[in-house]
Amino acid sequence: MDMFSLDKPIIGDLARVHLIKRIFEIANEDRCRILDVGCGEGQLWLPFLDRVDHLEISGIDRDQEKIEEGKRELKKINLVCGNIYELSSFFPEKHFNIVVSTQVFSYLRSLKKALDEIQRLLVENGKLLFTVGCTKYRKSWKDQFRRRIAGWFLEKHYFREYDEKELEDILLKSGFQVEDTRFYTIHPLKEIHNRVVAESNKNRFLRLWKQMEDLLVQDDGFKKQGRPYCLSLFMECRKVQS
């Protein structure tokens, strides 16, 4: 699927765009089952509603208002209000081929507990695709400490910021093997794309933006020194044990 040929504009950062691209590359089965964890109103799927007939998509979020709003627009998607730590109360085990989550894991007090729940719901060799903010590289230990303390008291504040090694260790303990890790940057272009560019040009702009980032991540200097300038991290994992 050429995702950039859509009539509706795709809005978001490139880590999320890459996640969507991977979903449609992987989901080639007749009835591939996908779960979006922390789906909000289901906005991830809005541009693709005319291309998901071969997919069985569910979403879960703890915000009842967002779920009700999503149900009004997303008739083809099963949206449920519930807690990420109780996924197996809402869905059967070994049911989903793919679980996705965008910018949610940093808000969780127990990422390991959430990953254990996700692991239960995936079929053997099922995929977990997610994005998180990776601004940890650009913060002093004092900034990180302040944000962590604030996370104990403010429910929607970041509780913890991870780097890719910390995430890989937690994923391994929950029965996942990391297969791909990608860093994305160019924050000013994200704001221009989302707020300023006309809807008729958004996807064309996004295609050029992704081509530029793909070139950037191949640069030797960026590989060695680029992470402090990145804002988003994408990871693709496979379930390797029950």
Looking up residue 212, the CATH number of its domain turns out to be 3.40.50.150
Q: What is the pLDDT of residue 239?
A: 97
* Better-scored residue on pLDDT, 207 or 114: 114
Q: What is the CA radius of gyration of the chain?
A: 18
pTM > 0.75: yes
Structure tokens at 44: 């991830």
Position 186 scores a pLDDT of 67
User: Is residue 190 pLDDT above 80, yes or no?
Assistant: no
Amino acid found at 226? G
User: How many domains is the chain built from?
Assistant: 1
**Distances from the Cα of 179 to the Cαs of 16, 84, 94, 123, 176, in angstroms?**
17, 23, 20, 17, 9
Is the pLDDT at 237 greater than 90, yes or no? yes
Average pLDDT of the residues in 122-139: 83
Nearest to 26 by CA among 76, 92, 99: 99
Give, in order, the Cα–Cα distances in Å from 80 to each of 10, 66, 128, 164. Answer: 24, 10, 19, 30
- Cα 127 to Cα 121: distance, rounded to the nearest angstrom: 11
Domain extent, residue 186, equals: 3-239
Q: Which of 31-35, 95-99, 219-223, 226-230 bottoms out in mean pLDDT, i.e. has the lowest?
A: 226-230
Mean pLDDT of the chain: 86
